[in-house]
Homo-oligomer: A and B are copies of this chain.
Amino acid sequence: MAISEELFFLDPSFEGTLQKQLQHAVAEGVLSGRFPVGARLPSSRRLAQHLGISRITVTLAYTELVANDYLTARGRSGYFVSETAPRLPEFGDAPPAEDRVDWGRHLVAGHSRDARVARPADWRSYPFPFIYGQTDKRLFDHANWRQCALMALGQRDFSALTEDYYDRDDDRLVEFIARHSLPRRGIRARPEEILVTLGAQNALWIASQVLLGPGRRAVRESPGYPQLRDILGESRADVLTVPVDGRGLIPEAVPAGADVVFATPSHQCPTAATMPMERRRRLLERAAAEDFLVVEDDYEFEMSFLTPPTPALKSIDRDGRVIYVGSFSKSLFPGLRLGYLVGSAPFIREARALRALMLRHPPGHIQRTVAYFLSLGHYDALIRRMSGAFQQRRAVMEEAIAAHGLQVAGRDALGGSSLWMAAPPHVDTEDLALRLRGEGVLIEPGAAFFEPGARPGHFYRLAYSSISRAAIPEGIARIAGAIARF
């Protein structure tokens, strides 16, 4: 049997070279059984002509397929599907299974949450994306990231790439966090006081599972980070809230009997407030007097372009009461999924054991790539570039917001990447967000940050981390227009 060149076509959406696409097509044909053993492939001349590509591309693809044992070359007769080509085992065509399980009985925990107004997956195609926490293609140092990843893919890092670390981490990354990242937050920690996590979400999850359970009392900020509310909801602890004002968490308002307080002192989520030093001291004094711990989520600390950064709460902790959560997601990219926990050795030991049970360790390749990116200075350069751009965007934001009379409800005195906004009370910002989508503008409704059942509907968040400076004035104008029409 000869395989006709007519069976081949090029897929313009294929991401890769023509040669790879061709290899892919042949491999698929063989695996699916469409190209049986012994069948002859079209000659490179005919296939090249049919597809309108160069003959050498076809020849290179065929050669690679021979190396992978999909094809064999028989001198001048051409290329044939190999006798020993990979194939799918045949199990017969099983009818699709019906589901006869009573899942209501078998699913013990209900982890699913209310749907929230999510950003659209194609947000990059919107001209005015006031979207929070995503990577700006114009700022990210893709070339050097790629180079660091390549280094980490090399022969010398074969073990770091492939090996099962069990409960350990990449030594170099931990060393860099200890010697480079933490000193910038005024924190000194030894390697046994650091645990690498799958992002800040995973760090908060681990901390809550290690510290909370029935009979324990957790306290979180309100308004606050919705994912933390979900995480604490899984802990089986009693969960209370503490209010925040324009200067962050109010230490005197922490409910009595707390075991663990979850706080965002540097940059409150979502109000962006920075907690002043005397509040931090009072919080730690109460923690010592009442024997509670504080889990500090220090996200976005690098974006301090208006005033120098304040040190982390952890840096003034003399008792080992503060557990620190750091992340590379905002500064590098959220799809990286890499963060860390810093705390006393007994806590980190338990957190490490739990992480090992849950997932063993974050992939070694990713840890090593970040270690290179940090150690070669690319990270610091990136932070400087981002800070510079955010500073300019922030100024344009403030100006446009003032010009249109929009109301800022909270802002980060240090910098940050977002403003917390209040629309007039009659405006439902979930509705507003959907209307603005039609005009190419993406904003984040604020209701999700409040308690279910007591949610003011008129707050929203505007981030400037993914929108160009040039697009800001028009974007703000459209928001103002939509609010006026409400």
Contacts and interface: CB of A to CB of B under 8 A. Distances in A.
Contacts of A288: 100
A376 B27 CA distance: 7
A383 interface: yes
A333 B162 CA distance: 5
Contact of A365 (B16, B335, B353, B381): B335
A470 interface: no
Interface in A416-431: none
A108 B210 contact: yes
Contacts of A308: 89
A63 interface: no
A347 interface: yes
A231 interface: yes
Interface stretch (A110-118, A247-255, A397-405): A110-118
A133 B47 CA distance: 43
Interface string A106-136: 1111111100001000001000000001110
A336 B363 contact: yes
Contacts of A435: none
How big is chain A's contact interface, by range? 35 or more
Interface in A132-167: 133-135, 137, 140, 142, 145-146, 149-151, 153-166
Contact of A107 (B31, B211, B380): B211
A318 to B, nearest CB: 5
A39 interface: no
A461 interface: no
Interface in A51-94: 65, 67-70, 84, 86, 88-89, 91-92, 94
A286 interface: no
B86 A380 contact: yes
A188 interface: yes
A202 interface: yes
Contacts of A345: 99
A241 interface: no
Given A97-B320, A376-B23, A350 B110 contact: yes
A227 to B, nearest CB: 7
A337 interface: yes
Interface of A: 15-16, 20, 23-24, 26-28, 31, 65, 67-70, 84, 86, 88-89, 91-92, 94-103, 105-113, 118, 124, 133-135, 137, 140, 142, 145-146, 149-151, 153-166, 180, 183-186, 188, 197-199, 201-202, 205, 209-213, 216, 227, 230-231, 234, 259-260, 288, 291, 293, 308-309, 311, 315-321, 329, 333-338, 344-347, 349-350, 353-354, 357-366, 372, 375-378, 380-381, 383-384
